[in-house]
Amino acid sequence: MQKTYLFIGIMILWSVSISQPIIEKNHLPVPGYSAYISTPDTLLQVDPTPTDTNYHWDFSDFTVISQRKDSFIALSAVPFAIRFQVPGEVNVVQTQNTPDSVGGVELGEAFTFFEANDTAYLGYGIGGTVSALPLALINFPPDVIYSLPLTYDQRDTSYSEAELAVPGLLYVKREQLRITHVDGWGTLSTPYGMFSVLRVNSSTTGSDTLSFDTLGVRVNNPLQTEYKWIGVEERIPLLQVNTVTVDSVGEFVNSIAYADSMRNFDTTSTGIEKTNLTKPLSIYPNPAQNQTTIELPDFGGYSIEIYDLNGKLVQKTAFRGGKIDLNLFAFKKGVYPVKVVGERQVYTGKLVIR
């Protein structure tokens, strides 16, 4: 009997290790779906590039420091002032968590718009309120995030373009080229479990054009790469690692997020409440040269820790308030992970110095 159980166990592990998922429309987000997304405690020493067929990616040693809940709604649930600017093809909308303000600009509700159909998962852009003004930056043509069904070794190229004009105030244009390759398959381990996955490598390049009155500027965006591990257990990537490639610095990990169960955070030693762990860290300008500003969504006491890519603490500064200007003359060019510890919150981000 024991040999029978052992044989069955081996066959189950073998079948998981060789299965190649096929991602179809019914595996994508729908209105009413929500998921907990966890962020681990490190961006350092995480290399997302290795891949192969029947490969095992092991990220089971991640330690969670923050968590958010992503929710998806129908287009009809979006306020009309924003909704009427959005194409009717949109059939799923992701709600976005935003700070109350950034750089003194008041932010309200925010949304990202998608269409899931039998042949593609399309990104239609973003919308929300800025200083009580309803705005939407809509992609036309839309961004092809995946062609469906999604299978191993699939390759796609997609161009998208979005324009927003507010007469007498501003003009925004975003152009993007996305190149996607399903470059591996196998099993993925995270603290959430082990899953059969496809690995998707999706890189974007492009530019942003901003015009105020007669003054305009075009900024070429750096190469950004999304490494996604996608299975059928969740309607979002089970793991996503985003990187940015900067001249003279190279590729560095910008963010890590994975699907997870709801976590209870230990607050006994830090006094940090789990409900306040998800607020974003705002750093601007970024990339920066001589000075940058770190802004927090709440007034309070904070300790700012800046590290190099070897994990060495370079600078630690304490202050009280809602934001602080940092002098960067003593820093070399490069990428610096930033951690801000508040009275009841922890924030993390990356500072690029050119």
Is residue 53 scored above 80 in pLDDT? yes
pLDDT in tens, 164-199: 988 777 889 999 999 999 999 999 999 988 999 999
pLDDT of residue 66: 85
pLDDT of res. 150 = 97
Residue 231 has phi, psi (to 5 degrees) of: -130, -170
How many C-beta atoms surround the C-beta of residue 22 within 10 A? 13
pLDDT of the residue at 179: 98
pLDDT at 279: 53
What integer is the mean pLDDT of 214-228? 90
At 128, the pLDDT band (50, 70, 90 cuts) reads very high
Residue at 265: amino acid letter? F
Place 13 in a pLDDT band, splitting at 50, 70 and 90: very low
Q: Which residues have CB under 8 Å from 7's CB, separation 6+?
A: none
State the Cα angle at 160 between 206 and 352, rounded to 5°: 30
Q: Identify any residues that bridge with 166 across adjacent strands, giving them in sequence order.
A: 170
Q: How far apart are CA 299 and CA 302, in angstroms?
A: 9
pLDDT-based confidence at 3, cuts 50/70/90? very low
Instruction: Using alpha carbons, select from 302, 261, 260 the residue that is nearest to residue 279.
Output: 302
